[in-house]
Amino acid sequence: MHGSTTIKDIARAAQVAPSTVSRALRADRRISGETTALILRLSEEMGYTPSLTARHLVTRQTNTIGLVISSVSDLFVADVVIGVEQEARLHGYSVFLISSYRNAGLEADAVRSLHERRTDGIIVTGSSIDEGYLARTDPTAQPVVLINCPNYPYSISTDNLAGARDAVTHLVRLGHRRIAYLANPGSHQANLARAEGCRATLAFHALAPDPDLTVMGDGTLAGGKAAAQRLLALPQPPTALFCFNDMMAVGALCALHEAGLAVPADCSVIGFDDLELAAYCCPPLTTVLQDGEQLGRQAMGMLFRLIQGEENVSPVVLPATLVVRETTGPVPAGAGRGKGVIAA
Amino acid sequence: MHGSTTIKDIARAAQVAPSTVSRALRADRRISGETTALILRLSEEMGYTPSLTARHLVTRQTNTIGLVISSVSDLFVADVVIGVEQEARLHGYSVFLISSYRNAGLEADAVRSLHERRTDGIIVTGSSIDEGYLARTDPTAQPVVLINCPNYPYSISTDNLAGARDAVTHLVRLGHRRIAYLANPGSHQANLARAEGCRATLAFHALAPDPDLTVMGDGTLAGGKAAAQRLLALPQPPTALFCFNDMMAVGALCALHEAGLAVPADCSVIGFDDLELAAYCCPPLTTVLQDGEQLGRQAMGMLFRLIQGEENVSPVVLPATLVVRETTGPVPAGAGRGKGVIAA
DNA sequence: TTGTAGGCGTTATCAT
DNA sequence: ATGATAACGCCTACAA
């Protein structure tokens, strides 16, 4: 970077003022075709690359937004990223991606660093801070849009509650009474909503809650497998597993398989997200679809409006849709006997 | 960002010169403890956030590197990203991530935009341009490190050839004669090397190559499934599938399953990457391990040395290790009859 | 149609 | 120990 060509170098070579070069480069119609052509040719020959940094200092906008995610190794997050990037490109924005690794400290660092970079706005998904962003009342601060944090005024969320409700209702209708929830406290808000949807649905059907049937995971394959194994070791194991996401569901499927249990004959499984992978499981995974790309696009759309100064934006909630494939089936005959919750 | 506090504002409030504030903020020992404390307190109170943009303009370095990837929705790439970020943090660098979506035009755009941002260096993985970067002899340009492009002088690669060789050798020893390669031309260099490893190994064992047994995919689940289906429709289908990556292998597994074929009894399958997912397949996937995180870390390490001005760096090749799980087994009895390549 | 001058927020080089 | 001044590369009135 030491000696990269500047606008002044070109000005000197073209025997014009720097401002003329600046204008010609940005296709200002006031500059004559001749000089414009000369300047274009020269800047090509001299290998000129504009310095966005310098430009930003004077225009006071970076045309860049920050996107804070938990980690790139989460396929659902990947869809969100793609959606944000698509929409950003549409508006002429670049995206600066930072991973928080589900760590509140790193998330705060990430946001601070984005402020220092003077990005025009910030999108945070899977936040550990959540409404902490509300405290930032400084009007000079960048607007922040949150994904899956419906209490925050500028947010786009999936209807996690309804998604969980539909999933569990589906299981109840199939006759299941002992339904487990494989949680992921790492995704705070989404997890709360799905847990609540599960709880409420069980209550609605007069099924007593069993604390043993909620077991913690971390949204990964390994976490899902471990959680399922703990469940299977219970004196009275569940007949159906509702998992925080598809990855945990695949992990659970693996545990079931290793335990010699057939799906769905011996145990039903439902995931969440509807990753492409869900359709490729053996058997194909019943799951709840949430549209990550759409979430991302809408978040970027909202952020753009916020950047433009629009104030009257309100939270958006996108639907979650149950997709029934082949990991759910009738409750196995004989289940629910003994000290079953209902029979008891 | 309109009215964010600047160093000048603090200087005015503290009754000192801007340069004093600048020094105090960076803990310059020449500034007295008193004034330093005052300035620190003030900058806290006034909500000061330094402008990296402005700082960069004068220091001529951004402490940021660019990372161009194919897409975040590739789990192997995710590992590389994590490795790069880890190592970058170690050296005090941030990472600007851009997706090229396996499109040469977008890749060129990405690199140009990184130049405009004056990142200190660039890492490209899964490049469509490859040795095109060699043309950039401009000494003022940023150093570029390529991942999995071993012909480029500044590169970190997996030993794709050896990995493919080991995989195919494993199949041959199990008695397979009709071994298919599910390719991914999108990852140009890696694909070439794995195809060649496959071809050479077959030749070494005096197995005639059959063009029908190389079929194109795109590295995705859908691509792998479609490729496998085409293979199964052959008059004399293969008894083993060597796939460009694990995702294609999972897709192939799905196709096999739908076709009513057992794995490995009727057909063996090998993947590449050894994603966490590989161990969670049913049955667990035999695959070739390549360490994405390590690839990323080493790439960032090499880039750092390049940025420091070291010139005597040479390409690095990391090992690929066959991991035998349960999708590979002896060739099915009766296979290879009819117009089999060997028998013919 | 083009040139001049000032400034964006920061650091660095002299001074003092 | 601190201040004044001049950059860094670019843009934008305002002049001409």
**Residue A214 neighbours by CB under 8 Å, 6+ apart:** A180, A181, A183, A195
User: Taking the alpha carbons of B268, A287, A189, A318 in that order, is the dihedral positive or negative?
Assistant: positive
Question: What per-residue confidence (pLDDT) applies to A341?
Answer: 39
Interchain CB distance below 8 Å, B81 and A72: yes
A239 neighbors A176 (Cβ within 8 angstroms)? yes
| Residues of B whose CB is below 8 A from A276 | 220-222
Question: What per-residue confidence (pLDDT) applies to A135?
Answer: 67
Q: Which of A51, A85, A115 sits opposite B49 (nearest CB)?
A: A115
Percent of chain B with pLDDT over 70: 94
Helix (H, G, I), strand (E, B) or coil at B42: helix
pLDDT digits (tens, 9 = 90+) for B25-46: 999 999 999 999 999 999 999 9
A340 neighbors A178 (Cβ within 8 angstroms)? yes
Task: State the pairing for strand pair B144-147/A321-323.
Answer: unpaired
Question: What per-residue confidence (pLDDT) applies to B135?
Answer: 66
Rounded Cα–Cα distance for residues B191 and B188 (Å) = 5
Rounded Cα–Cα distance for residues B48 and B33 (Å) = 20
Nearest to B242 by CA among B303, B298, B304, B196: B196
∠ CA A212-A213-A219, nearest 5°, is: 115
As its CATH architecture, domain B160-290 has 3-Layer(aba) Sandwich (3.40)
Q: Which of A50, A53, A96 sits opposite B53 (nearest CB)?
A: A53
Largest pairwise CA distance in chain A: 94
| Residues of B whose CB is below 8 A from A259 | none
- Name the one residue in this structure whose structure tokens are 């008059």: B235
pLDDT digits (tens, 9 = 90+) for B217-256: 999 999 999 999 999 999 999 999 999 999 999 999 999 9
The CATH fold assigned to A64-158+292-318 is Rossmann fold (3.40.50)
What does residue A182 show for φ and ψ, rounded to 5 degrees?
A: -95, 100
Rounded Cα–Cα distance for residues B67 and A97 (Å) = 11
Quote the tokens at residue B105: 């035009």
Give B121-163 as a 3 state SS string: EEEEECCCCHHHHHHCCCCCCCCEEEECCCCCCCEEEECHHHH
Nearest to A270 by CA among A329, A211, A229, A340: A329
Q: How many interchain CB pairs under 8 A, A with B?
A: 123
How far is the alpha carbon of A161 from chain B, nearest alpha carbon, in Å? 26
∠ CA A124-B126-B121, nearest 5°, is: 70
B35 touches strand C (CB under 7 A): no
Question: What per-residue confidence (pLDDT) applies to B127?
Answer: 83
Question: What per-residue confidence (pLDDT) applies to B132?
Answer: 77
Question: What per-residue confidence (pLDDT) applies to B75?
Answer: 98
Residue B254 burial (10 A CB sphere; 0-12, 13-18, 19+): buried
| Residues of B whose CB is below 8 A from A98 | 94
pLDDT digits (tens, 9 = 90+) for B247-296: 999 999 999 999 999 999 999 999 999 999 999 999 999 999 999 999 99
What does residue A288 show for φ and ψ, rounded to 5 degrees?
A: -110, 120
Nearest to A242 by CA among A189, A286, A207, A275: A286
Among all protein residues, pick the one whose CA is nearest to the C1' atom of C5: A19
- The pTM of the full predicted model, rounded to 2 decimals, is 0.94
**Neighbouring C-alpha atoms within 13 Å toward the C-beta of B51:** 21
Phi/psi-derived region of residue B334, left when phi > 0, alpha when psi is between -120 and 50, beta in every other case: left
- Best B280, B307, B308, B325 member to test A by mutation, with max A CBs in 10 Å, is B280
Helix (H, G, I), strand (E, B) or coil at B191: helix
Question: What per-residue confidence (pLDDT) applies to B335?
Answer: 62
- Residue B61 CA, nucleotide C5 C1', distance (Å): 28
User: Taking the alpha carbons of A229, A231, A236, A237 in that order, is the dihedral positive or negative?
Assistant: negative
How crowded is residue A8: how many other Cβ atoms within 10 Å of its Cβ? 11
Identify the residue with better confidence: B341 or A77.
Answer: A77
What does residue B147 show for φ and ψ, rounded to 5 degrees?
A: -105, 130
A48 → chain B, closest CA residue: B116
User: Measured between alpha carbons, how far is residue A284 from residues A217, B37, B120, B254, B327 in Å?
Assistant: 22, 63, 46, 9, 19
One fold for both B64-158+292-318 and B160-290? yes
Nearest to B109 by CA among B135, B136, B129, B91: B129
User: Measured between alpha carbons, how far is residue A200 from residues A186, A192, B110 in Å?
Assistant: 22, 12, 48
B19 touches strand C (CB under 7 A): yes
Task: Report the amino acid identity of residue A292.
Answer: G
Per residue of chain A (344 residues), what is the pLDDT tens digit? 446 899 999 999 999 999 999 999 999 999 999 999 999 999 999 999 999 999 999 999 999 999 999 999 999 999 999 999 999 999 999 999 999 999 999 999 999 999 999 999 999 998 888 777 766 667 678 999 999 999 999 999 999 999 999 999 999 999 999 999 999 999 999 999 999 999 999 999 999 999 999 999 999 999 999 999 999 999 999 999 999 999 999 999 999 999 999 999 999 999 999 999 999 999 999 999 999 999 999 999 999 999 999 989 999 999 999 999 999 999 988 764 433 333 32
Question: What per-residue confidence (pLDDT) applies to A139?
Answer: 64
Q: In sequence order, what DSSP letters do the residues of A195-218 get, joined into one string?
A: HHHHHHHHHHTTPPP-GGGEEE--
- Residue A11 CA, nucleotide C13 C1', distance (Å): 28
A94 → chain B, closest CA residue: B98
- Best B9, B256, B282, B326 member to test A by mutation, with max A CBs in 10 Å, is B282
- Residue B20 CA, nucleotide C13 C1', distance (Å): 14
Interchain CB distance below 8 Å, B57 and A57: yes
∠ CA B3-B7-B12, nearest 5°, is: 95
pLDDT digits (tens, 9 = 90+) for B136-193: 667 678 999 999 999 999 999 999 999 999 999 999 999 999 999 999 999 999 999 9
Residues facing A158 on adjacent strands: A318
Domain ranges for chain A, please list them: 7-50, 64-158+292-318, 160-290
How far is the alpha carbon of A209 from chain B, nearest alpha carbon, in Å? 31
Largest pairwise CA distance in chain B: 94
- Name the one residue in this structure whose structure tokens are 């700082």: B55
| Residues of A whose CB is below 8 A from B250 | 277, 280
B56 touches strand C (CB under 7 A): no
Rounded Cα–Cα distance for residues A112 and B216 (Å) = 45
Is residue B336 over pLDDT 80? no
pLDDT-based confidence at residue B128 (cuts at 50, 70, 90): confident
Question: What per-residue confidence (pLDDT) applies to A342?
Answer: 36
Chain-centroid distance of CA B177 in Å reads: 32
How crowded is residue A15: how many other Cβ atoms within 10 Å of its Cβ? 9
Quote the tokens at residue B261: 């074929």
Q: A33-59 burial by CB neighbour count: b if 16+ within 10 A, else e?
A: eebbebbbebbeeeebbbbbbbebbee
Q: Which of B53, B56, B73 sits opposite A75 (nearest CB)?
A: B73
